[in-house]
Amino acid sequence: MPKPADQPHDAAMTNVSLTDRAYRIRRNALRMGEVQGQGYIAQALGIADVLAVAYFHALTHRPDDPEWEGRDRFLLSIGHYAIALYAALIEARIIPEDELESYGSDDSRLPMSSMASYTPGVEISGGSLGHGLGIAVGMALALKSKKSKSFVYNLLSDGELDEGHTWEAAMSAGSYKLDHLIAIVDVNNQQADGPSTEILNFEPLAPKFEAFGWYTQRVDGNDIEAVAAAFDKARGLTEPKPRVVICDTRMGKGIPFLEQRERNHFLRVEPDEWQKALAILDAGRGQ
């Protein structure tokens, strides 16, 4: 499938590889984390490869016009992943890089939980979990009624699979045959209270979505080529079904001492560890 014509606009940035995009998204997230000294850093490092593919391979959008009617919508229902989304929006030049230092501060456009009214490129507000897929269903229905070709992507977490309305939305999407809806489930097997499959076991996950009428793929979410191929297949499919790409990701990906840290849902990182993490990331660039 050809790359969408509307992204990115900046000719100097068009030859940046997806691997480099993911590196820069991780770097932006770590720099924002350093501003606050803590945060949902492990999730951001884990989902960076998926966001690189989304914003620099899959989505049709206009960085200089984030509300362009013809755009694909990217809905983040996990409000606490805002740091990851901002990192991608900064890399996409939808948010200026110099705002990075304001992350989480009063009067910043980058609050610690995503807010649609605050931030360009943020489509919905997060916070209460489990609402994103339902909103995505409504948005996809509305676009379908307008005969729009735009896709609606919804990134949700494995913790959100505990929410009953996630499955009500999944059933609705299958029932309405929403073929321009692409759900992305970040399966890092962590949520606030511990390993997600131990809190409420959602496995086997792929057959559940299939049973609800979805075209289902499951990939290593830290394998950029596999993620890109899955997104291509999801977009190119002609079957009248919603699509889901289940992405298995590793919390803290790329920074071994953060990958190995226990209880890494919300990380407190010592002041001297941020530069250590950035140095490890820089040393591993392109690998």
Site residues (vs Mg ion, CB under 5 A): 157-159, 188, 190-191
Is the Cβ of residue 28 or residue 157 nearer to Mg ion in the bound state?
Answer: 157
Task: Between 91 and 160, name the residue whose CB sits nearer to Mg ion.
Answer: 160
Least separation in angstroms between residue 252's CB and Mg ion is: 12
- The least CB distance from residue 237 to Mg ion, in Å, is 26
Length of the chain: 287
Q: Kindly tell me which of 111 and 221 has the beta carbon lying closer to Mg ion.
A: 221
Distance CA(151)–CA(61), nearest Å, equals: 11
Beta bridge partners of 206: none
Q: Shortest Cβ distance from residue 236 to Mg ion (Å)?
A: 28
Spatial distance between the Cα atoms of 59 and 235, rounded to a whole number of angstroms:
10
Confirm if 133 and 186 have CB atoms less than 8 A apart: no
Q: Are 160 and 77 in contact (CB under 8 A)?
A: yes
Of 7 and 189, nearer to Mg ion (C-beta) is: 189
Which residue in 168, 126, 135 sits closest to 154, CA to CA?
Answer: 135
Which one, of 62, 68, 79, 83, lies nearest residue 6 by Cα?
Answer: 62
Contacts of 101 (CB under 8 A, 6+ apart): 35
- Least distance to Mg ion from the beta carbon of 188, Å? 4
Q: Are 88 and 153 in contact (CB under 8 A)?
A: no
Q: Measured from the CB of residue 201, what is the shortest distance to Mg ion in angstroms?
A: 14
Give the residue with the Cβ less far from Mg ion, 70 or 194. 194
In the complex, the smallest distance separating the C-beta of residue 265 from Mg ion, rounded to whole angstroms, is 8
**Dihedral sign of CA atoms 152, 63, 158, 115 in order:** negative
Kindly state the smallest distance separating residue 228's Cβ from Mg ion, in Å. Answer: 22
Give whichever of 114 and 188 is closer to Mg ion, judged by the CB atom. Answer: 188
Rg of the chain's alpha carbons, rounded to an integer?
18
Which CB sits closer to Mg ion, 72 or 160? 160
- C-beta of 32: minimal distance to Mg ion in Å? 20
Q: At what angle do helices 224-236 and 41-53 cross, to 10 degrees?
A: 50
Q: Which is nearer to Mg ion, 92 or 219 (CB)?
A: 219
Which DSSP symbol is given to 62?
-
